[in-house]
Structure 1
């Protein structure tokens, strides 16, 4: 088949593109290569795909309505995996308009491309951040998610609502995947695994928010990719008998799933896993909770397991050892990296 993967120079999109190409599909990878973080890392990820003759890269912004429409019309994709977005909770507090352009306008251009070109399945990235102020654990796709605590989370919830409307109106099969703290080699420089590893290896202190009383459902990149690849083959269908009472499904061809490790890790245990992998102790600066943050995330993945027979299971010690090994190789023990 022919796939469009948006965010192909991003962390998850790069691995998904690699997996699809390896399976023999034709992949067009789209990215705008913005400078939210070091573009050199994005270019290095793209270089990993040079070995595939069935991969084509297109530099294009999601907000370019005419450009996206022309791409869809020219390429006639069978399926679309939409992973591009302006990421980051903290950045959304400082630069909210960047999220409107990328996450809302960008989702609209992708939905329109799929609608007008008979794409058979759109799989798109949502986020565990949609659970916001929810206190019931684990987070279930059956729960209402109406109280986001950041604009980033609000845009992801909006994406789910936009997808449902297109599924209902135009019979476009859509599946939203709520990712839980994805980490691993080639990961994003603005996330804790990267920031902490960089600081520890280079003898700088790490900021430990909420005085260390946090838990995260860290999910290793290979597990996320496996979930995406499996779910893109499960195309939702219109089901007139569906009672329409679940937030995660509908009479329309629409589904929502969590992808997480189903095992929250205390922040201090996470730090210990990095210390062990790095062979160095962290210098810790304990700080209060940041705005837009939540104390814990925990994915209920029963519906994912039932649908595709897969459950992420990579242990944090194993995943962080692989990440630290990659980090050392990639940065060659440099004295710090650029996060701009």
Structure 2
């Protein structure tokens, strides 16, 4: 049984009239989080990004809102963070290398995912930012056959049989979480850790290993080609809609919960075969059945598959959150957005 959630009145931040920053703001989750905070009446939202992974297109729809400030900066440069975090009430830290980018450049990924987090926390300490929300991942439970059953917040890390990049990513998120706990212990920094499942939604990119199944399947179907499934299609995927995560970020800031890590997963898991079948059906081509292929050992894919379920009951207890958008509805929204963007 989980320990009672720690509560502190000073941890709760009022969004209306508040000033917040989203680190990694020019991203899928960053842009949605900015929209969520603005919709709830934030006086200012700063989007801090070095644009190595984020893009101007992801936040183009926000540029005319005078409450939005775009700060181009690098989390590895503490002086830039110190300047950018002045006068804030809260901060959402999203910037990170994911598994595919970690596979291409592990040294840079370790730097960003560990030293970058420490820099963000130090800037928040120096400028007395009251609340930090840290985007972690269900990768903290590891990968491979040892990961099974219900994954709850106390589930240990497993690494046997998993690709090195996936383990490096998961381990880096564990370190990031521990840095948050250390900042709370040393300096009283209030924080909430959200362990994201694979995120998907409008303004989807091509960088997330499992979300690639969605966008690559949609691309194939639009070309009239059969979608590809790696393996037999029975691998389970764990997705969460971007709007649900933006809501979780906002609710974590508002909550009086502190010094806690919670899962933020979708309503239900989905197999790879179910996923590509839904994409084909929503795209109007149910006749394009999946083609099954053997895994390519040189590619990092299927990183969150497994015989497990990511339990999100603790999130409701801690911050009042639960997912609202099911997979078919979320896919319909994403594919409609992609079709509109394609003209």
Query: For this structure pair, what is the TM-score category when the shorter chain's length is used for normalisation?
Result: 0.7 to 0.9
Measure, in 1, the Cα distance between the counterparts of 2:311 and 2:219.
31
1:93 corresponds to which of 71, 96, 103: 103
| 1:320 has 2:326 as partner | no
Contact 1:217/1:262, CA 8 A, preserved across alignment: no
RMSD: 2.0
Q: Structure 1 residues 324, 291: closer, same or farther in 2, change over 3 A?
A: closer
Aligned to 1:119: 129
Q: 1:184 aligned to 2:191? A: no
What residue number does 1:131 align with?
141
Q: Which runs of 5+ in 1 are unaligned?
A: 237-252, 333-340
Aligned positions of 1:159-308 closer than 5 A = 159-190=176-207, 191-192=211-212, 193-204=214-225, 206-236=227-257, 253-280=258-285, 281=288, 284-288=291-295, 291=300, 293-296=303-306, 298-308=309-319
* Aligned equivalents of 2:158, 2:75: Cα separation in 1: 26
- How many residues of Structure 1 are paired with residues of Structure 2 in the alignment? 308
User: Aligned equivalents of 1:233 and 1:208: distance in 2?
Assistant: 41
**Paired residue for 1:51?**
64
SS at match of 1:182: strand
User: Which of structure 1's runs of 4+ aligned residues deviate more than 6 A?
Assistant: none
Where in structure 2 are there 5+ consecutive unaligned residues?
1-17
The answer as to whether partners of 2:140 and 2:170 remain within 8 angstroms in 1 is yes
Whole-Å separation in 2 of the counterparts to 1:291 and 1:45: 25
189 and 291 in structure 1: CA distance in 2 versus 1, 3 angstrom threshold:
closer
Contact 1:121–1:235 (CA under 8 A) maintained in structure 2: no
How far apart are the structure 2 equivalents of 1:259 and 1:105? Answer: 24
8 Å CA contact 2:195–2:262 kept in 1: the answer is yes
2:238/2:304 contact within 8 Å kept: no
Give the CA deviation at 1:173: 0.8
* 2:77 maps to 1:64: yes
- Asked if the contact 2:101/2:109 (under 8 Å) is kept, the reply is no
Query: Secondary structure at the residue paired with 1:150?
Result: helix
Q: Does 1:83 align with 2:94?
A: yes
Tell me the CA shift for residue 111 of structure 1: 0.6
Does the CA-based 8 Å contact 1:12-1:225 persist in structure 2? yes
The whole-number CA distance in structure 1 between the counterparts of 2:235 and 2:48 is: 35
Distance 1:85 1:205 in 2: 33
Cα distance in 2 for residues equivalent to 1:310 and 1:105: 30
TM-score (norm 2): 0.84
SS in structure 1 of the partner of residue 321 of structure 2:
coil
CA distance in 2, matches of 1:262, 1:137: 16
Alignment partner of 1:29 is 2:47: yes
2:156 alignment counterpart: 144
The answer to whether the 8 Å contact 2:237/2:304 transfers is: no
Matching of residue 107 in structure 1 with residue 113 in structure 2? no
Contact 1:27 1:55 in 2 (8 A): yes
Using the size of structure 1 for normalisation, the TM-score is 0.85
Cα-to-partner distance string for 1:222-276 (whole Å, 9 max, x where unaligned): 111112211211134xxxxxxxxxxxxxxxx511010001411111111111001
